[in-house]
Amino acid sequence: MDMIDLMPPGCAILSQTDRERSEESPLHRHPHGEFFVLRSGHLVSATEAARLLIPPGQAYWVPPGTPHGGSLRRISGIRLHVSAALARGLCPEVPVAFSATPLVEALMGRWAVDASAGLPPRAVDRHMFAVLADEMANRLTQPLLLPMPGSPVMRRVLAAWSETCDERASLDLLAERCRMSRRSFTRRFRIETGMSPGTWMQAARILRGCQLMASGTSITDTAFMLGFESPASFFNLCRRLTGLNPSALMRRL
């Protein structure tokens, strides 16, 4: 897995502004931490443990050294690269999502201007970063989460299935691809993800649906492409898992 250092030597904070950015990113690591504030578009972040849907209006923290990747669709917002020394003791050691409050936006907007070429360690930035970390701790959100199995074989099979969410792939077929019986697969899956395979597959379909809708696919076509019997079935599941119906979710994407 690649270790990618985006910060110049001696730099404590570096900002980047994204405008309509789309890309697929394989798992990689940075020696520094990353903050994302999303103003439009959406991010499906992949770690070794889970996949998360981060919609507009939210922010996302990735700690230094954490393997991550994912899918970005028409992202506009601000990215902040933060040295491990600055983040130490202030930020969580696991990825978290939190609300991009007006205070978070104001802090990130300041750094978007001041830190576009990188900043050395400064007392003012440590004070501002402590405020950002405090706001993050008090505004944590629960994004749509798709935990990944710990078993390498199961993780590889389920990651491949989640790219298309092929409705023709039955539970028996997935178990066979993992070289397990259906019973062993189901039991192991629950232990490693905390979810039944069926519930996990439903969440994966919603994540994939967000990607399709963000790329311009209509709600009706998305529902049928994901194997739902009707758009109403997709509507109900989307609302149950995200709190939003597909139309509202699509407007946010």
CATH topology for the 2-144 domain: Jelly Rolls (2.60.120)
For residue 93, the SS3 value is coil
What residue spans in the chain does CATH classification 2.60.120.280 cover?
2-144
Q: How would you classify the pairing of strands 2-3 and 13-29?
A: parallel
What span, in angstroms and rounded, lies between the C-alpha atoms of 6 and 250?
32
What span, in angstroms and rounded, lies between the C-alpha atoms of 224 and 236?
14
pLDDT at residue 119, as a whole number: 96
Tens of pLDDT, residues 5-60: 999 999 999 999 999 888 888 899 999 999 999 998 878 888 888 888 887 888 99
Residue 116 has pLDDT above 80, yes or no: yes
Place of tokens 């994939």: 208
Q: Which stretch of 66-75, 101-110, 198-207, 234-243 has the lowest confidence by average pLDDT?
A: 234-243
The per-residue pLDDT of the chain, averaged, comes to 89
Residue 66 has pLDDT above 90, yes or no: yes
With the C-alpha atoms ordered 128, 131, 137, 143, is the resulting torsion angle positive or negative? negative
Which has the closest alpha carbon to 97: 48, 151, 49, 139? 139
pLDDT at residue 132, as a whole number: 94
pLDDT at residue 176, as a whole number: 93
Tens of pLDDT, residues 206-249: 888 887 887 788 989 999 888 888 888 888 888 887 777 788 77
CA-derived radius of gyration, the chain: 19
Residue 177 has pLDDT above 80, yes or no: yes
What span, in angstroms and rounded, lies between the C-alpha atoms of 138 and 148?
27
Of residues 145 and 139, more confidence is placed in: 139
Per-residue CA distances from 243 to 105, 160, 191, 234, 246 (Å)? 24, 27, 26, 13, 10
What residue spans in the chain does CATH classification 1.10.10.60 cover?
149-252
pLDDT band at 252 (very low <50, low <70, confident <90, very high): low
Per-residue CA distances from 174 to 197, 199, 208, 220 (Å)? 10, 14, 18, 27
With the C-alpha atoms ordered 128, 7, 20, 35, is the resulting torsion angle positive or negative? negative
Place of tokens 């730099």: 11
Per-residue CA distances from 83 to 105, 155, 252 (Å)? 20, 31, 31
CATH topology for the 149-252 domain: Arc Repressor Mutant, subunit A (1.10.10)
For residue 14, the SS3 value is strand
pTM of the model: 0.74
Place of tokens 């933060």: 82
For residues 214, 215, 220, 225, the Cα torsion angle rounded to the nearest 10 degrees is -110
Place of tokens 């969440």: 203
pLDDT at residue 253, as a whole number: 58
Phi, psi dihedral angles at 63 (to 5 degrees): -70, 160
